[in-house]
């Protein structure tokens, strides 16, 4: 269980989160959506313990603000939006960095498994810096996966925190990565992911938090949060929520109406 | 240092260079032994190491002259070369890991200049120290002052060039220039007021050399360098993590602040002690780690120990060149390393041009 209560975050004098509450349950994919600059990434930083702001965050009953880095690393992995790398590591060497926490000795056999999972078998000896942005993102996902390979271990769930995991990916790899998140949750782990693509969110998430101008506007099941009014208001453009017979909710922005206004 | 237990059943992964890097360690140990023998065997006096060793082995007494040449001149000089070379190379490797940049080198970004300033303060103003303190510090006054100088320089440099966990290369290099000229100016003032005896000390020292090595100098440098070299392997995991950035390192369970503080102290200790006893020997810290990264990859679990070994071996070879190329006179070793290192640095710059502006 992840609970964040009253998160108020400021950079300098500018307050970017105003007392946000947010919950996520293991076994579910929980998405955070909202327009650019609404505070999604800042909320993610609070949830992962990267920054400590006002308010409290508990992950598996552990206070994130006072936990040691290695204690958090044992229960959750974090995929940043993009990860520049300082030195010429190969793909295998980058993934192995995920095993560096010391709690994961003797798990080298996970490296090929993780690369297979993200569809990068055959890339082992390539240099990270020579890969495309999308490939780099999947290498990083493999690194995060080896860190928290078992969705449930010692009776408590492991967590994946993904910050816009599919923004750099083509549609096929978007589905592949979202399916990895889905499978992790189905196996009992927790997934918290910042998303831009609302259709993918509707397709894969069990629970969505909609954030706008530093406020959590709504949190709940996608069909409850994704309403024409709430989305149009949050994103500042007209949006219509539809239902496809086969796959459930999908959305269309009203480009024509925007142009007319 | 993590010792890899090689499991023969484990399939070898493409892109996994840990085995090559481990083998490199063995190669470098052999190289260092050979370089040490080379350094002990060659010198102006023409004393034969082999003759001396066989005399000792047969239980024959060495002549006083041979004993002095071998044990009081060449041996301390060789030990000093090993210490200084290892210290400079490891400082470079740690600093590059800390700044996440292959161009960070104590000599280039002003940390050595800070150490030199500390050493000059100790040499020129050491006489004003209260007698009790001077007596208790003994030989360690100059290394201790150089350590403080390089420590303060490293902290200033890191604070100036790193914001929100990211290091700006341009700021780092420019801050290094500013730091170098500032400490250079302070050093100039002290040199200006130094008396004749101090000037002579400063001149020999400033040329960069392990020529004047004595056992007392070796002992003065030993504690700081030994501690720095002993601590460095424990930085490997942290520096590997930092290669992904501070946030990612922390997410992987690394205590980032502790890693950074330890890295800064390690750089300061190794650079300070090396500069205090050998003056300015440049480029070892940039050449050695860079070559090793090319050959065996950037994994700090191997890079740090291999840098120590290769740095030591390289410095011994450079020292042998420095005392033979214009024999019976000696070329300061700093000139030898700069002649090799300067063009090398250009080459690194050209290779890095594309990604320098990150």
Which pLDDT tens digit goes with each residue over A131-166? 999 999 999 999 999 999 999 988 899 999 999 999
Q: Where are the alpha helices (DSSP H) in A76-131?
A: 91-97, 110-117
Tell me: pLDDT of B18 over 60: yes
CATH number at residue B235: 1.10.3470.10
Residue environment code for B29-46, b if the CB has 16+ CB neighbours within 10 A, otherwise e: eebbeebbebbbbbbeee
Contacts of B347 (CB under 8 A, 6+ apart): none
The arithmetic mean of pLDDT across residues B120-144, rounded, is 77
Pairwise CB contact (< 8 Å): B298 & A147: no
Pairwise CB contact (< 8 Å): B253 & A73: yes
Tell me: pLDDT of B164 over 80: no
Is the CB of B16 inside 8 Å of chain A's CB atoms? yes
The arithmetic mean of pLDDT across residues B253-257, rounded, is 90
State which residue of chain A sits closest to B352, comparing Cα positions.
A87
Contacts of B323 (CB under 8 A, 6+ apart): B42, B43, B44, B211, B330, B331
Across A52-61, B67-76, B162-171, the highest mean pLDDT is recorded for A52-61
Q: Apex CA B75: angle with CA B74 and CA B80, to 5°?
A: 100
To probe the interface with B, which of A49, A97, A115 has the most B CB atoms within 10 Å? A97
Contacts of A142 (CB under 8 A, 6+ apart): A95, A98, A111, A114, A115, A117, A118, A120
Taking the CA atoms of chain A, what radius of gyration do you get in angstroms?
Answer: 19
Q: Which two tokens stand for residue B5?
A: 């237990």
Q: Flag whether B181 is in a domain.
A: no
- Domain residue extents for chain A: 2-221
Using CA atoms, how far apart are residues A31 and A191, in angstroms rounded to an integer? 8
Q: Which two tokens stand for residue B279?
A: 């003056």
* B103 closest CA partner among B354, B315, B352: B352
- Dihedrals phi, psi of A39, to nearest 5 degrees: 115, 10
Q: Flag whether B96 is in a domain.
A: yes
Average pLDDT taken over every residue of chain B: 84
Contact A120, B21 (CB under 8 A): no
Is the CB of B352 inside 8 Å of chain A's CB atoms? no
Would you give the end-to-end CA distance of chain B in angstroms?
32
C-alpha dist (Å) from residue A71 to A66, A102, A160, B253: 10, 11, 15, 7
Domain count for chain B, please give it: 1
Q: Which two tokens stand for residue A122?
A: 């055959």
Task: Identify the pLDDT of residue A182.
Answer: 96
A93 chain-B contacts, CB cut-off 8 A: 15-17, 297-299
Q: Flag whether B129 is in a domain.
A: no
Contacts of A32 (CB under 8 A, 6+ apart): A22, A40, A43, A44, A192, A193, A194, A195, A208, A209, A211
Q: Which two tokens stand for residue A64?
A: 């994130």
Band (pLDDT 50/70/90 cuts) for residue B292 is: very high
Number of helical (H) and strand (E) elements in chain B, helices listed first? 16, 2
- Dihedrals phi, psi of A249, to nearest 5 degrees: -65, 135
How far apart are the CA of A65 and the nearest CA of chain B, in angstroms? 13
Of B13, B248, B255, the CB nearest to A112: B13
Task: Identify the pLDDT of residue B8.
Answer: 44
Task: Identify the pLDDT of residue B313.
Answer: 96
A75 chain-B contacts, CB cut-off 8 A: none
To probe the interface with A, which of B5, B6, B12, B15 has the most A CB atoms within 10 Å? B15
Contact B179, B109 (CB under 8 A): yes
Task: Identify the pLDDT of residue A256.
Answer: 42
Tell me: pLDDT of B6 over 50: no
Tell me: pLDDT of A8 over 90: yes
State which residue of chain B sits closest to A122, comparing Cα positions.
B14
Q: Flag whether B315 is in a domain.
A: yes
How far apart are the CA of B31 and the nearest CA of chain A, in angstroms? 26
Q: Apex CA B236: angle with CA B230 and CA B240, to 5°?
A: 165
Would you give the end-to-end CA distance of chain A in angstroms?
44
Using CA atoms, how far apart are residues A241 and A250, in angstroms rounded to an integer? 6
Tell me: pLDDT of A254 over 60: no
CATH homologous superfamily of A2-221 = P-loop containing nucleotide triphosphate hydrolases (3.40.50.300)
Using CA atoms, how far apart are residues B277 and B82, in angstroms rounded to an integer? 12
Is the CB of A147 inside 8 Å of chain B's CB atoms? yes
Taking the CA atoms of chain B, what radius of gyration do you get in angstroms?
Answer: 21
Q: Which two tokens stand for residue B250?
A: 């922390």
Tell me: pLDDT of B9 over 50: no
Band (pLDDT 50/70/90 cuts) for residue B123 is: confident
The arithmetic mean of pLDDT across residues A15-25, rounded, is 95
Handedness of CA A233, A239, A243, A246 (dihedral sign): negative
> Residues B19-31: pLDDT tens digits?
999 999 999 999 9
Band (pLDDT 50/70/90 cuts) for residue B352 is: low
Contacts of B261 (CB under 8 A, 6+ apart): none
B237 chain-A contacts, CB cut-off 8 A: 100, 102
Tell me: pLDDT of B81 over 70: yes
A84 chain-B contacts, CB cut-off 8 A: 245, 358
How many residue pairs from chains A and B have C-beta atoms closer than 8 A? 104
DSSP secondary-structure letter at A130?
A: G
Which range is least confidently modeled, B38-42, B48-52, B245-249?
Answer: B48-52
Band (pLDDT 50/70/90 cuts) for residue B11 is: low
Tell me: pLDDT of A44 over 80: yes
Using CA atoms, how far apart are residues A167 and B107, in angstroms rounded to an integer? 42
Domain of B244, in residue numbers:
18-109+195-352
Pairwise CB contact (< 8 Å): B247 & A92: no
Contact B322, B330 (CB under 8 A): yes
How far apart are the CA of A192 and the nearest CA of chain B, in angstroms? 15
Using CA atoms, how far apart are residues B241 and B259, in angstroms rounded to an integer? 10
Average pLDDT taken over every residue of chain A: 90
Band (pLDDT 50/70/90 cuts) for residue A62 is: very high
Contact B89, B311 (CB under 8 A): yes
Contact B268, B151 (CB under 8 A): yes
At A20, is the secondary structure helix, strand, or coil?
strand
Across A139-143, A151-155, A237-241, B142-146, the highest mean pLDDT is recorded for A139-143
Is the CB of A74 inside 8 Å of chain B's CB atoms? yes
Pairwise CB contact (< 8 Å): B299 & A101: no
State which residue of chain B sits closest to A159, comparing Cα positions.
B251
Q: Which two tokens stand for residue A95?
A: 């993934």
Across B69-73, B233-237, B333-337, the highest mean pLDDT is recorded for B233-237
Contacts of B196 (CB under 8 A, 6+ apart): none
Percentage of chain B modeled with pLDDT above 90 = 32
Using CA atoms, how far apart are residues B170 and B36, in angstroms rounded to an integer? 39
Task: Identify the pLDDT of residue B356.
Answer: 45
Which range is least confidently modeled, A28-32, A201-205, B334-338?
Answer: B334-338
Tell me: pLDDT of B46 over 80: no
Tell me: pLDDT of B109 over 90: no
Band (pLDDT 50/70/90 cuts) for residue B142 is: confident
The arithmetic mean of pLDDT across residues B34-50, rounded, is 81
Task: Identify the pLDDT of residue B62.
Answer: 74
Is the CB of B247 inside 8 Å of chain A's CB atoms? yes
Q: Flag whether B233 is in a domain.
A: yes
Band (pLDDT 50/70/90 cuts) for residue A258 is: very low
Residue A252 burial by CB count (10 A; 0-12/13-18/19+): exposed, middle or buried? exposed
Band (pLDDT 50/70/90 cuts) for residue B10 is: low
The arithmetic mean of pLDDT across residues B301-322, rounded, is 94
To probe the interface with A, which of B98, B100, B251 has the most A CB atoms within 10 Å? B251
Pairwise CB contact (< 8 Å): A70 & B255: yes
């Amino acid at each position: 269980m992840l609970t964040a209560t009253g998160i108020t975050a400021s950079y300098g004098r500018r307050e970017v989160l105003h007392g946000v509450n947010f919950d996520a349950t293991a076994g579910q994919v929980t998405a955070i959506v909202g327009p650019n600059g609404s505070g999604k990434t800042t909320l993610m930083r609070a949830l992962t313990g990267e920054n400590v702001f006002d308010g409290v965050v508990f992950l598996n009953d552990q206070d994130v603000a006072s936990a040691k880095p290695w204690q958090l690393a044992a229960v959750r992995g974090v995929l940043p939006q993009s990860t520049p790398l300082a030195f010429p590591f190969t793909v295998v060497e980058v993934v192995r960095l995920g095993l560096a926490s010391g709690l994961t000795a003797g798990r080298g056999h996970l490296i090929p498994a993780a690369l297979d999972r993200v569809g990068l078998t055959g890339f082992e000896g390539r240099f990270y810096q020579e890969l495309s942005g999308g490939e780099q993102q999947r290498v990083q996902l493999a690194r995060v996966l080896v860190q928290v390979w078992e969705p449930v271990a010692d009776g408590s769930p492991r967590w994946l925190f993904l910050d816009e995991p599919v923004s750099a990916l083509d549609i096929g790899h978007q589905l592949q990565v979202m399916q990895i998140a889905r499978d992790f949750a189905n196996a009992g782990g927790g997934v918290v992911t910042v998303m831009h693509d609302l259709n993918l969110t509707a397709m894969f998430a069990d629970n969505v938090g909609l954030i706008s101008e530093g406020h959590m506007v709504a949190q709940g099941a996608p069909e409850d949060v994704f309403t024409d009014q709430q989305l149009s208001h949050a994103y500042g453009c007209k949006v219509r929520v539809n239902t496809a017979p086969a796959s459930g909710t999908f959305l269309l922005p009203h480009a024509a109406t925007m142009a007319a206004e | 240092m993590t010792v890899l237990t090689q499991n023969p059943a484990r399939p070898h992964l493409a892109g996994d260079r840990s085995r090559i890097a481990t083998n490199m360690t063995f190669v470098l140990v052999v190289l260092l032994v050979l370089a040490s023998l080379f350094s002990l065997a060659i010198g102006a006096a023409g004393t034969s190491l082999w003759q001396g060793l066989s005399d000792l082995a047969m239980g024959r007494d060495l002549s006083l002259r041979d004993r002095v040449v071998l044990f009081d001149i060449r041996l301390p000089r060789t030990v000093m070369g090993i210490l200084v070379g290892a210290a400079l190379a490891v400082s470079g490797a740690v600093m590059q890991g800390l700044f996440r940049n292959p161009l960070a080198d104590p000599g280039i970004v002003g940390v050595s200049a800070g150490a030199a300033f500390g050493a000059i303060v100790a040499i020129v103003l050491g006489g004003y120290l209260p007698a009790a303190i001077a007596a208790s510090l003994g030989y360690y006054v100059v290394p201790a002052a150089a350590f403080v100088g390089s420590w303060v320089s490293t902290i200033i440099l890191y604070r100036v060039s790193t914001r929100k966990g990211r290091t700006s290369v341009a700021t780092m290099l420019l801050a290094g220039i500013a730091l170098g000229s500032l400490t250079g100016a302070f050093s100039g003032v002290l040199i200006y007021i130094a008396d004749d005896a101090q000037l002579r000390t400063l001149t020999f020292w400033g040329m960069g050399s392990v020529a004047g090595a004595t056992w007392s100098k070796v002992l003065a440098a030993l504690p700081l360098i030994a501690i720095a070299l002993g601590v460095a392997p424990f930085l490997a995991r942290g520096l590997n993590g930092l290669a992904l950035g501070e946030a990612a390192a922390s997410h992987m369970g690394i205590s980032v602040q502790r890693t950074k503080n330890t890295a800064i102290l390690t750089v300061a200790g190794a650079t300070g002690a090396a500069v205090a006893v050998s003056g300015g020997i440049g480029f070892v810290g940039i050449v050695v780690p860079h070559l090793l990264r090319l050959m065996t990859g950037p994994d700090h679990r191997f890079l740090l120990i291999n840098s120590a070994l290769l740095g030591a071996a390289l410095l011994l070879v450079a020292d042998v060149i420095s005392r033979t190329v214009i024999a019976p006179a000696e070329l300061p070793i700093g000139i030898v390393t700069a002649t090799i290192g300067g063009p090398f640095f250009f080459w690194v710059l050209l290779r890095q041009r594309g990604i320098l502006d990150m």
